[in-house]
Every structure is written in structure tokens, then in C-alpha cells.
Amino acid sequence: GLVAGDEESYTVFKDLFDPVISARHGGYPADGKHPTDMNPANLLQEKIDPTGNYTVTTRCRTGRSIRGFCLPPSNTFEERREVERVIVKGLLSLEGDLKGDYFPLHGSRSYAPKPTGMSEEKEEELRKAGNLFQEPDSTLLLSSGCGRHWPDARGIFHNEARNFFVWVNEEDHMRIISMEVGDNVDAIFKRFCAATEGVGKVLRAEGYDFMHNDHLGYILTCPSNLGTGLRAGTIVKVPKLSARPDFKTVCAKLGLQARGTAGVDSVSTDGRFDISNADRLGKSETHLVNVFIRGVKTFIEWEQKLEAGENIDAIIEAAKPWEPSGGAGSSDPEYPPNGLTAAVKKLPEWIQLGCGNAEYICSEKGATFPGDVCPDALPDLSEHNNFAVDELKKDPALYDKLKGLKTSKGVTLAKCLKTGIDNKGHPNIKTVGLVAGDEESYTVFKDLFDPVISARHGGY
């Protein structure tokens, strides 16, 4: 419901923009500092789709605006042509696998080497392949002013391999897109970073630069794209997972969003969705790509479980988006918390599942109780033999009383009780069935801990 006409709009009208930005970006504060990290070495080195059976194409895109010019809703005819000139000069200087050519929209008279733009056939070919933006057929774009003087000074650059594209003067000055068939996110992101840096270098030599500040990151027309402006996405086939009525909620739990393969408002009828990171602002580029990598990898693993007839409700309940961890080894994909060591990988899979960073969920061993949030009701406990379950059977209301509580450090009843629910115990050896997650667990959940302690310690 709001666009910027130039870079200064975000400060002159900050009393409106700031709360809108906060609402759109999950509470981003008016004094927040946006991090930037374009280092490919900080990406997770994980295959999204090891089988190659689920992903179709993968892409990484962002926008960039040129400082000193109005943004597309407000720029003049002459200003838009100058934006095209400086951007195209930068693009045509790219070398190696980024080398390519610029094609103005059919009918544009702004670019002397192609005085009437690309041919209609070329334009249709690019659009059918999903590589070129549409004419402004949305009242959102038309009302914003982005359709003025169409098609003049709009166009697309692509390299010879057609896995790198730049849109010029659509909704933003530039939309940079790196893509290819399959799931090679590392190669896609490296190409994306090299192109962004290459164009920026030429702009700076011309006396220009990208719009950027510490608070909002890279400045773009729509507040929804502030920060990184980055969208890492893949067309993925998940017909069983996407058939769940809570599919959108499932996406949100992993920091993802889903749209049909034809764009933001499209629907899917064959289980193919364009899955991408949901956030843009407040997290760095590599952070968001890692959320995407881990999230889509998890989706495919869940789809495989559903194909095998497994129930994944408890796994989904415990799911969280990827988060970076500090400390020694935090950037090593073969060491916790990002991965497993070589020694652990030699162990049976059911053991490996409990040695990583995720909550232990293993249907093979019956370990499916979530460790973060208690489900509404307990599973069948008729075959369990431990002190904690005995107390829950004696007083069924006790679980409802405690399941919504947590300690000041965030420990829940689910964390304390998981081991006792996942493990039924031995018929002749009674286990405790309960552990403390922190010191405060013994007081917050004392109505369960006290009788368990008493039973275990002879009436203490």
C-alpha cells in the first residue's frame, strides 16, 4: 500500500514508512541496523535435493537502485533513459560467464544500438521462458506510476548461457537474477554476487553508487523489498506436503513462503510451488539463503516421509527456521551446530538424528514427541512404565495445567517430558521419565516434579 518515489521518501515520510516497514517485516525497529553479507563462503554446503527428483529450477534475485535518481514511480522520461544508460554500460563491461547483451523492450527507442528494441519474437520467447517481466497489467503498478512512458528505457540483459538476467526500469532500477536448472545454490549465489559487484564497480567509476544505508540496507521502490531485496527460490515438486490444509503455516514455521509457479498471485494445481525465503530485512543475504537451503531440504525430506506413509505431524510441530550459531566451528558445515562430524556419520542413522542441531525426532524408535511446544493432548501412554507417566495418569488435568508454562530461559514442559514419552521403559525396571532443562524447571513444573521425586526417592 505504499511505495517510495526516491531515496529521501523513507526519511521525509518516516512517520508513515517506519510503522509500515515494521508491520511488514515482523516488528523491525525504527532504529534497527540491517546486516549485509555477500560472502559465498558463509553458505551452508548442503544439497537441497540429493536425488534430483524434486527441484526443477533454482534462482536468486535482488533489486538495486542508483543513488541520485528518482525511483520508477517518480522519475522523468529523461531520467529513466539516463538510468538505463549507466546500468547498461555497467552490464556490458561484465566478462567471463557473465558476458552478454542488452535487449530493450520491443518498441523502445531509447537505446541506439537497437533503436526499435528487441523483436516481438524475442520478447515472446523470453516471456514464455519466464525470464522477462510482463507489461504493467496490474493496477498496483499502474497506480504507482511505474507504467509511465512504457516501454521506453525498459529492457533485459542476459548472458550467453541464459542463467543470468537483469531487468532494467521495471518496478526497480535493476532486478538481478541468477538461475539454473537443479539445485546448485552455491554456483547461483556466486554468479549473483560477482554480477552485483561488477555492475557496482562500473557505477562507482561513473560517479554513481547503489542506494544503501545502515538502517534499511539496500533501498528499493517497495518497502517489502528493503534490506537485502533478496529472494532465493526454487520450483519444487511437493504434492503430498502441499496438499496439507496448513501448508502456508508449515512454510512460515521454516521462514519460507510459497507461491504458484506463475507468480505471486498464482495457484498451483500439480503440487509444484515456488518456495522462497519470506524475510528480506534485518537478516543478511547469506542468512536468508541458508534459511532457504535448510528449509527446502527439510520440505523434500518431509515429502519423502509422506510418500513412505509416515506421519510427520510431530516433526512439523517441532520445526524451526535455520539460525546461525556463534562459537568455534560455527561456520564449518562438517561440525556442530551446522553438521555432523565424520565419526558421527559412521553411526546408525537413528543415532545420527540425535547428534545434530535439531530436536531428536525418529519414527523408527518411536521418538516423535515434540521438544519445544506441548501438543494439545498426550499420546497413548498405556504401555509406558515410568514415574512421570504414572503421575500424569493419576491426574490427567496436570498436563493441561503445565503444558503452556515455560521457565525464564524458555524451557517448556515438552523439553522436560520428551524422554519419558519417547521411551516407554522396561516392564520390570521403572525409569524416571522426566529431566530438568534448567534450575527453574524444578519450581515452574513442581506439580509434576515433586511427586515424581517423592516416588523415586522413597516418599521424600
18-42 confidence digits (pLDDT tens):
999 999 999 999 999 999 999 999 9
Average pLDDT, the chain: 92
What is the rounded (10 degree) CA torsion for 144, 15, 27, 142?
0
Cell 536448472 belongs to 181
Q: What is the pLDDT of residue 134?
A: 87
290-336 confidence digits (pLDDT tens):
999 999 999 999 999 999 999 999 899 888 899 886 544 445 667 78
Percent of the chain with pLDDT strictly greater than 90: 81
**Stretch 217-239: mean pLDDT, rounded?**
95
**Stretch 141-163: mean pLDDT, rounded?**
94
- Alpha-carbon gap, residue 289 to 294, rounded angstroms: 9
Q: 337 preceded by cis ω (within 30°)?
A: yes
Q: What is the pLDDT of residue 265?
A: 47
Beta-carbon contacts of 94 under 8 Å, excluding residues fewer than 6 positions away, are 100, 159, 195, 198, 199
At 11, phi and psi to the nearest 5? Answer: -100, -45
Q: Do residues 44 and 200 make contact, with C-beta atoms less than 8 angstroms apart?
A: no
**Stretch 129-158: mean pLDDT, rounded?**
91
Q: Which residues lie across from 179 on neighbouring strands?
A: 59
What is the rounded (10 degree) CA torsion for 226, 229, 235, 237?
-40
**pLDDT at residue 424 is higher than 80:** yes
CA distances from 29 to 298, 365, 401 (A): 31, 44, 35
**pLDDT at residue 381 is higher than 90:** yes
Q: What is the pLDDT of residue 261?
A: 65
Direct distance between the N- and C-terminal alpha carbons of the chain, in angstroms, rounded to an integer:
64
323-359 confidence digits (pLDDT tens):
886 544 445 667 787 788 888 999 999 999 999 888 8
Cell 537485502 belongs to 228
- Alpha-carbon gap, residue 46 to 297, rounded angstroms: 8
Q: Do residues 312 and 306 make contact, with C-beta atoms less than 8 angstroms apart?
A: yes
**pLDDT at residue 263 is higher than 60:** no
Question: Which of 418, 342, 333, 432 shows the shortest CA–CA distance to 385?
Answer: 432
